[in-house]
Amino acid sequence: MERVLGIGGYFVRAADPVALNAWYRDCLGLDADEHGLWQQQPGATVFAAFEAETDYFGSRNQAVMLNFRVRDLDAMLAQLRSRGAEVADEVQEMAGVGRFGWVTDPAGNRIELWQPA
Q: Is the pLDDT of residue 103 over 90?
A: yes
Q: What is the pLDDT of residue 99?
A: 97
Task: State the Rg of the chain over Cα.
Answer: 15
Query: Could you report the per-residue pLDDT of 51-85, keeping only the tens digit for each?
Result: 999 999 988 889 999 999 999 999 999 999 999 99
Closest CA to 27 of 91, 78, 99, 98: 78
Q: Which pLDDT band, with edges at 50, 70 and 90, does 4 fall under?
A: confident
Confirm if 77 and 113 have CB atoms less than 8 A apart: yes
Q: Give φ, ψ of 11 to 5 degrees.
A: -120, 135
Q: Is the pLDDT of residue 8 over 90?
A: no
pTM: 0.90
Helix, strand, coil percentages for the chain (3-state, nearest 5): 20, 20, 60
